Amino acid sequence: MKNLTYYIGCGLLLSALAFSSCEKQLEEYNPGGTTEQLYNTPEGIETAVNAAYSYNRPMFGKESGFALLEMGTDIWTTGANAGATGIAGAYPQTPIMNYDGFTTDNPWLSSTLWQPSYAAINTINVAMKYVKTAGLPATRQTSIEAEMRFLRAWYYWIITESFGDPHFTLEGTQGMTTTANRTPTADVYKQIFEDLKFAVDNLPTTSADYGRATKGAAQAFLARVYLTRGMNQEALDYAKLLIGNAQYKLLPDYASLWQINNQANQEVIWTVNYVSNLNNNGGSNYGHALFLMEYKDFPGMKRDLSNGLSYMRYMPTRYLLNLFNESADARYQASFKSTWLANNSQTLPAGMNLGDTAIYISKTSVPAETRAGKRYAIYDINDVYNADGSPKDRFHYVALRKFDDPLRVSENEIQSSRDVFLIRLAEMYLIAAEASFNLGDATSAAQYVNTLRNRASIPGHQAEMQVQASDISLDFLLDERAREFAGEQMRWFDLKRTGKLVERVKKSNPDAGAYIQDYHVRRPIPQADIDAATNKSEFVQNPGY
């Protein structure tokens, strides 16, 4: 089954190219068979839809996916091991994150966004040809078509928002195709809406197979897509369906969202389901390691499961940290780690015991008199960042803790079985808020925001967290989304949707702001695909690249 899934997904690419990384596996697996025969049975159709789900895994929970969907924005920049140490060539993917030298042949664009999305779309298109004739029971025939159409809409949304007018087809291909098109975005969205409405009408409300699309997932994604297209009333209507659905609930404690034993909770609408058998995960979730600062070399410290595997790839911008009022907003402590406790008896300084504070990193200034006499290391906001927000220490910083996994098999294991939340109920409140604001109803927008802020309030500070209609603006709503969703692979899409990407990066991220240009609101089409197309006058590169 493992080989079959790979074969279907990798061998039937929609793109103008056949990718060489697939060819050897194709020859080894099926040197003379007919691919489409696999789809003429219920088992083949089921395998095809399972394969289509799997193409989320190169994007979500992976280093390249975080780089493309969170970095290069206003809230994240590069840590030391992301090549920002002044060592030339230390980390060749850095241009994705700061736009300096962001070229059309950057491998992560192809391997993370372009290839997986089109491989999934093509798998779906071929399977759709046989879904009514493969012998599936009538009820499953309809629901599996709804799943595939939901997934096709999902991948076309990723492609279209990332690259602009995409290559678009509803026909599956087997062999090499050398022509491609640039279909107007509006036409692609017409199909996305059609697919999602079919999914809403025909998906089940629940699924025993956790991670499969449901009616709620289709409704929630439709709300997101309507907001993306500026269809605010429709976005509001669908968001309200989820808010009023008793099947989904905001967890009363924001921190409980991230407890490793509480992943399948009522706030999650759709997820990439990574499992404890790491061999079945296609690379698993690496998010736990990417946002951590270096801690193991300090006196009294060593690497362990609780503190994590620190890769120092990504660090918060000063702007992101300043968005939180940590004395009132519990999301700060739930999202970030600022204190490390001594865990190494072999290197304890005099007067420090196991479990004592060994490192403290503050998002505010720590005066000299406070530091005096402390046995532990202290870094404050001015030790880590310059006044303009540019980092001056990319090794030691407040670390994102949302994705911690102390259940990994060892402290040096990169793979994690933690799920990736693709859509959760909190997003529906902020979609409703943004749509209401766009419709001129700031009062309702504030009410939706206040529901989330009440959940996020530290006890005794609820009144301090409430906002008024006069507080609501597009920038405020983007700030609120940062506080709620930091690190959840939504930020680049949020800034692009609102037309704020270039403005806010220039204002709040000195690393990327020095290089970002207006044309960066669309990614470059991978150069290999441009070169392979024989109709080059029609299949052209995005402007600026």
**CA count, 13 A, side-chain hemisphere, 493:** 21
- Rounded to the nearest 10°, the torsion over CA 14, 17, 20, 24 is 50
Tokens representing residue 450 in the block: 């206040």
Please give the full DSSP string across 306-340, using - where no structure is assigned: TT------EEE-HHHHHT--TTTBTHHHHHEE-EE
Q: Which pLDDT score is estimated for 101?
A: 83
**N-to-C CA span, the chain:** 41
- For residue 281, pLDDT over 80 is answered with no
Q: Which helix (H) or strand (E) is 456 found in, with range?
A: helix 442-456
- Among the residue ranges 100-104, 147-151, 416-420, the one predicted with the least confidence is 100-104
Q: What percent of the chain clears pLDDT 70, i.e. is strictly above it?
A: 91
94-98, 323-327, 364-368, 383-387: lowest mean pLDDT where?
A: 94-98
Higher pLDDT, 436 or 39: 436
328-348 mean pLDDT: 98
Beta bridge partners of 272: 420
Q: Per the structure block, which two tokens stand in for 281?
A: 């995960």
The span from the CA of 433 to the CA of 484, in Å, is 14
Element (H, E) at 377: strand 377-379
Question: How far is residue 80's CA from residue 75's CA, in Å, rounded to a whole number?
Answer: 17
pLDDT of residue 36: 66
Contact 390, 510 (CB under 8 A): yes
Q: Report the amino acid identity of residue 58.
A: P
Q: Checking phi first, is residue 166 left (phi over 0); if not, alpha (psi -120 to 50) or beta? A: beta
DSSP state of 349: P
* Residue 38 pLDDT: 78
Q: Which residues pair with 329 in a beta bridge?
A: 457
Nearest C-alpha neighbor of 319 from the set 462, 463, 478: 478
As a whole-number percent, the residues of the chain with pLDDT over 90 amount to 85
DSSP annotation of 285 reads B
Least confident piece of the model among 20-24, 75-79, 147-151: 20-24
Backbone phi and psi for residue 365, each to the nearest 5 degrees, phi listed first = -80, 135
Instruction: Give residue 23's pLDDT.
Output: 30
Give the mean pLDDT of 434-443: 98
CA distance 193 to 199: 10
Output the pLDDT for position 96.
81
Is the pLDDT reported for residue 507 higher than 80?
yes
List the beta bridge partners of residue 314.
Answer: 78
Cβ–Cβ < 8 Å for 383, 316: no
Residue 6 reports pLDDT greater than 90: no
As a whole number, mean pLDDT of residues 172-178 equals 82
- pLDDT, greater one: 373 or 150: 150
| Spatial separation of the C-alpha atoms in residues 451 and 484, rounded to whole Å | 12
Three-state SS for 361?
strand
Asked which of 101-105, 371-375, 430-434 is least confident by mean pLDDT, the reply is 101-105
Coil, helix or strand at residue 358: strand
Query: Residue 84: what pLDDT?
Result: 54
Q: Note the pLDDT of residue 88.
A: 36
pLDDT mean across residues, the chain: 91
pLDDT tens, residue by residue, 229-267: 999 999 999 999 999 999 999 999 999 999 999 999 999
pLDDT of residue 33: 34
pLDDT, tens digit, 9 for 90 and up, residues 393-429: 999 999 999 999 999 999 999 999 999 999 999 999 9
- Please name which of 248, 212, 264 lies closest in space to residue 418, comparing C-alpha atoms: 264
User: 178 to each of 16, 226, 533, how far by Cα in Å?
Assistant: 5, 33, 5
> Residues 6 or more apart from 431 whose CB is under 8 A from it?
223, 224, 227, 235, 236, 239
> Average of pLDDT values for 34-52?
85
Q: Is the pLDDT of residue 67 over 80?
A: yes
Report which DSSP code applies to 244: T
What's the one-letter identity of residue 233?
A: Q
State the average pLDDT over residues 70-91: 74
Type of residue at 123: T
Q: Taking residues 271-275, what's their average pLDDT?
A: 94
Q: What is the mean pLDDT of residues 42-54?
A: 95
